[in-house]
Every structure is written in structure tokens, then in C-alpha cells.
Structure 1
Amino acid sequence: MKLIVIDSELSQSKSYDFDRRWIHVFLAGLAALVLCLLTLTWVVVERGNRIEETRAQLDGIQQDLLAQQYDLDSYYTYVERVMIEQAKRAGMMEARISRVEALGGRLADTAQIADEFDFYSLPAIGGPAEEDLALVHTTALPPVEDMTGEGALAIPEVDVAPQSLIEPESVSESLLTDTYKNLEQKLRYRQQELVSLQNLLLDENIHKEQYLAGKPVTSGWLSSKFGKRIDPFHGRVAWHKGVDFAGDWDSPILAVASGVVVWSGERYGYGDMVEIDHGNGYATRYGHNRKNLVKLGDVVTKGQQIAEMGSSGRSTGPHVHFEVLKNGKQVNPRRYIYRKAF
């Protein structure tokens, strides 16, 4: 093969003879070089595309992680705030229980009641203890090569557990739940004690109010006893169904126990009289009053003034005729007048 080269400036030409085999080798080498360059270019471009895809996936995962971390932080911030509020409520409830215990203790001491109403001791509670469990959430991402194939960029494992889960706060939800259960049980126990104490004190107070004891006057003297006596009007022996307390005009006449007025007005032989029903079969009568201060159906308390001393009816002077009736029959008032108060 001959190659002619012409120089335009010198108007000369040169010719070169080449072996056809070398020309073939040169062309083959040139073609191989071009092919290698094209292959290398394709590899570089494909590699770059895969890297970009991997980076895009990594950015998406990181955005998801940030969103999840934000949601978790928001949730545990809310939980922590709720737990703080619940802890405050538990403290207030404990303070109220303490005041109830103090009040119940003072009432129990004042009433001198049995030891089962011991408000200074803890209530009898118990049960098996449960193990405390710490919950730790850890989430790891799979390697990127599992998603994009061999040779992709490696993505490290990411721990998305919030610090509040890894290291629980000193006040946990389970602890607050147990505290509430104990407080509720304690409060129910104290409420039952207070109700029982209230009923006991009410019964005791009612019994105390209904307990017949004392004189129906604040001043004066016993002028006539219960039983046989000489009747001041006809001079013969007669049965006196009560006792008489003489005193000054308008002196207060008092109820010796609480009850309901079943009579208030004039009655034969008694003049102006008040009769009080005290329950349990007991009743008292107060006769010869100048003025009655209560009316039928009134509820009177122990020691309340019910009348003013006078001399109405069959009477020789200002006094009160006092009777005690048990199951409708007059009994000697002496044992009730002088017995020890409840």
C-alpha cells in the first residue's frame, strides 16, 4: 500500500509504502481503543447513576427517620407532661387523704371508740409484687446493597430510639398506675372507716340525746317524791305518779332528753303540760306550767327549754310535776334524775 503526502507550500509530494498487515493492525487497535473508551464511559455513567439513586434513597430514609424521631419526641414529651400532671394529682390526693386521716383520728380519739378505727395506722393491704420491665426500642436499617445490588454505597445502622425510652425517667407510667391504685384503695378504706365512724357517732349521739338523765329545772328543790303521799287537797293518802320540783315563777323547764312533742296544752289534773316521746318506749311529762314554749310535733333536744314554771291546774304553788313513763306506765323518776349522764 502506498501513501502520497503533498506539501502545498513547496509544491512537492512524497510517497510512502506501507505493508497492508500493519495497516490492518493499526485499524484494529484504533477500533479496540474506541471500544474501550466507550465501555469505560458507560461504566462511569452507570456507576454515577447508581450512586445518585443510592444517595436519593439515603436522603429519603433520613427524612423518614427525622419525621419518626419528631413524632416520637412529640409523643414522649406529651407523655412526660401527662405524667407530671398525674404526679401532681397523686400528691394532692395523698394530701387530702392525710387530712382525712387526721380528722378521722381526732374524731376517733374524741369519741374514744374501738381500735378498729385507728386512722393513724396504714390500712391492711398487700399482694404479690410484679417485676419492673424496661422497654427499649431499637430499629436498624438494612444495608443499601440489599436494595440496589452489589457495590452500592454502604449505609450505617441508625438507632431511632429516643433517649427517654433507652433511659426511663424516675417516674414511670407503671409506677404512677400502682400509686393511683394504692391511693384509691387507701381512700376507699378511709371512706368506709369515716362512714362507719359517722354512723357510730350518729348512733352514739342519738343514744346520748335520748338518754334520760338530769333534772328538768336549773334551780329549785324536790318538794314531793314519787309514790304514796298525803294529798294536799283532801288530806288522804294518794299515789303520786311523779316528782315535784318547786321554784320561782317563770323559771325555765328543760327537756331531760331529746324527742318529739306529743302533747302541748291543758290536760286534766296537769294544767298546761308538755309530753315528750323519747323513743324506745320512754316518755316524760312536765305539768303545771305557766307557759308552754313548744307545740305538738316539735323536735326538742336535750337541755332545751320547753316551758316556764307556773301553777296551772291542780297545784298549790309554782312548781313542775315531772313524770317518766316506760311503755305507757309511770315509773320512779329518781333513778333517771340522779343517774350519771351518758
Structure 2
Amino acid sequence: MNIILISNNLAKARTLTLTTKHLVLLAGAFLSSSVLLAMGLNYLSLRYADKLDSPTLRSLVLSVHQEEHQKAQSYLRDSLNAMAIRMGQMQAQLLRLDSVGARLAELSGMKPQEFLFNQSPGQGGALPTLPTQDLSFVEMGNKIQELSAILDDRSDKLGALDSLLMQDRLKKKMLPSVMPIEAKWYSSGFGVRIDPFTGRSAFHEGVDFTATTGTPIKAAASGVVVYSDYHPEYGNMIDVDHGNEFVSRYAHASKRLVKVGQVVVRGQKIAEVGSTGRSTGPHLHFEVRHKGLPQNPSRFLKMPG
């Protein structure tokens, strides 16, 4: 590198030639001076730190510490609030699980004292032999998340089981299983018998209960009235549809108390015993039909002991 020097004191211009070696030496000198200057400043700051300590500098340092502390406290508060909210949700889930558990116990026929859902289960054991340690804030949060996931899973499964048991119970309630009249025996059973009018063998599609005129006739199960009229052979007759193609029939009544389309519940009075239609005396003719075919009512009815 050539450097040309021009001055009024010089008769002619001079030229300086800088080689690579010169440039390296200059760079090294510059770096060395920079390092020495930094070391000197650092020494002075340490040597005279007490003299440099001023209220302004001290307040600046305290301000930085306070800002970091406030950030940490804010993060801690937010985390605790989130954990508190989640704990509240978990408590609500536990209350729901308690109610579902109590209902499941009832549906399954368990005794209430076998599962005390309103009390915490007993726990205990010997003192731990291995060293113990406190849970950290992060570990506590992880445990809560894990427990929350387990609660969600158990809640879904118990809810599904509750629905299935409830559906099964409703189906049983919809079956014609309640005695339609207060009686302990049939005057005429289901199946082949001697017809009281012709004296010939005939198939009896239901069962007969002898009773005095006016005796209440009750619905054997909940359902919808699909027929309520006078029939040439059955006399005053009522058909109740219970769903799943099950229909119960009540015949020879003296009085009908329900209309077509009316919803009736199990055990509700729907008619009174009589001797209308093809009948030899006051009684209730009761049938159970599935898909239009007669079924033996004794398979469904719960006879009183």
C-alpha cells in the first residue's frame, strides 16, 4: 500500500510504502491498546466501586430487581389462579361422579352403605422407609393435569354405563310386567283349552282373571293407547302400545277410561271389569302381543306372593 504525503513545507511529495507486515503490526498495536484500556477501566471500576456507588446507580439496580421480582410474582399468581380454576372444575366433576355412582348403585341393586360416595375413602400405612421430598411447583401442576385427565376418562365411562343401565331399566318398565288386576290366579290360562261356548278345543291367546264388575283394570306398563272401542268378540277393549312392538290388550271391560292417543303410566287405572262381548261372566281377558303374535302373559307378569 502506497501513501502519498503532500505539504507546503516539502519541496516535493513523498511516498510511504506499507507492507502486509506493517499492517499486521498496526492491527496488533490497536488490539493491544483496546485490551489494556478495557482492563484499566475494569480495574478502576472495581478499585473505586464504593466511590462510584451513587443513589442513582443503586436505584437503577433495585429497579431491575423489582421488575424481575414482579414478573416472577405475576407468573406465580397466574399459575396459581389456573390451578385453582382447574381444582374447582375437578371438584365439580367429583360431585357429578358421586351422583352418577349413587345412581348406578341404585340401578344395580347395591345397598347404599356398600359405597359411601359422600365420604372420602380411608387410607393409611406404615411410615415410609425411603427418603421423601416435597413436590415442586411444576410437578404439582403435572399431577393435577394427570388427575384431571383420569377424571375426564372416568366421567365419560361412568356416564355411558349410567345411560346403558337407565335404558335397560326403562325397557323393563315398558314391558307389561305389572298385574293388571288384583288377583292371585288365572281362571283360564294361555294355550289350548275347551272353548266355553262351543265345547271344542281352541287356542286361548291370553289369560282370564275372574273379578266382580267395576274392579279397576290397570295398565301393565307405560305406553300409548292405540285402541279404545267396542269389539264384537272382546267387548269394550283397550290396546296399549309399549314400544319395541309390544302391545297389551284388556278386554270385556264394563267401562273404558282412556282414549286413543292418550299416554298412560304403569299401574294407571284405564278401565273397569265387566262382561261385554263374548263372555260368560265378569272377568278380565288380558293379552300380550309381540309383533302381532300372542305371547304367554305369565312370562312377563309378576304374580303377587
Aligned 8 A contact 1:287 1:320 in 2: yes
Letter matched to residue 230 of structure 2: E
Q: Matched residue of 1:224: which SS? A: coil
Matching of residue 254 in structure 1 with residue 234 in structure 2: no
Aligned 8 A contact 1:242 1:324 in 2: yes
Matching of residue 80 in structure 1 with residue 72 in structure 2: no
1:189 deviates by 1.1
Letter matched to residue 196 of structure 2: D
Aligned 8 A contact 2:240 2:248 in 1: yes
1:321 deviates by 1.1
Matching of residue 276 in structure 1 with residue 240 in structure 2: yes
| Change in CA separation of 1:301 and 1:184 when aligned onto 2, cut-off 3 Å | same
1:217 deviates by 0.7
The answer for the alignment partner of 2:39 in structure 1 is none
The answer for the alignment partner of 1:230 in structure 2 is 195
Matching of residue 177 in structure 1 with residue 141 in structure 2: yes
The answer for the alignment partner of 1:24 in structure 2 is none
Aligned 8 A contact 2:252 2:284 in 1: yes
Letter matched to residue 239 of structure 2: E
Matching of residue 193 in structure 1 with residue 131 in structure 2: no
The answer for the alignment partner of 2:283 in structure 1 is 319
| Change in CA separation of 1:338 and 1:93 when aligned onto 2, cut-off 3 Å | closer
| Change in CA separation of 1:94 and 1:290 when aligned onto 2, cut-off 3 Å | same
| Change in CA separation of 1:260 and 1:205 when aligned onto 2, cut-off 3 Å | same
Distance, in Å, in 2 between the alignment partners of 1:229 and 1:286 is 21
Which residues of 2 match residues 1-342 of structure 1 at below 5 A?
A: 55=52, 59-112=55-108, 173-219=137-183, 221-226=185-190, 227-232=192-197, 238-337=202-301
Identical pairs, percent? 31
| Change in CA separation of 1:312 and 1:83 when aligned onto 2, cut-off 3 Å | same
Distance, in Å, in 2 between the alignment partners of 1:300 and 1:195 is 29
Aligned 8 A contact 1:220 1:248 in 2: no
Aligned 8 A contact 1:83 1:173 in 2: no
Q: TM-score, normalised by structure 2?
A: 0.63
1:244 deviates by 1.5
Aligned CA RMSD, in angstroms, stands at 3.8
| Change in CA separation of 1:109 and 1:254 when aligned onto 2, cut-off 3 Å | same
Aligned 8 A contact 1:220 1:246 in 2: no
Q: Which runs of 5+ in 2 are unaligned?
A: 1-43, 110-114, 122-133
| Change in CA separation of 1:177 and 1:231 when aligned onto 2, cut-off 3 Å | same
Distance, in Å, in 2 between the alignment partners of 1:111 and 1:223 is 35
Q: Which runs of 5+ in 1 are unaligned?
A: 1-46, 123-169
Q: Matched residue of 2:171: which SS? A: helix
Distance, in Å, in 2 between the alignment partners of 1:220 and 1:268 is 29
Aligned residue pair count: 238
| Larger-gyration structure (1/2) | 1
1:242 deviates by 2.0
Aligned 8 A contact 1:212 1:257 in 2: yes
CA shift digits 1:196-237 (9 cap, x unpaired): 1222112211231133434311247533333322334x6665
Letter matched to residue 229 of structure 1: I
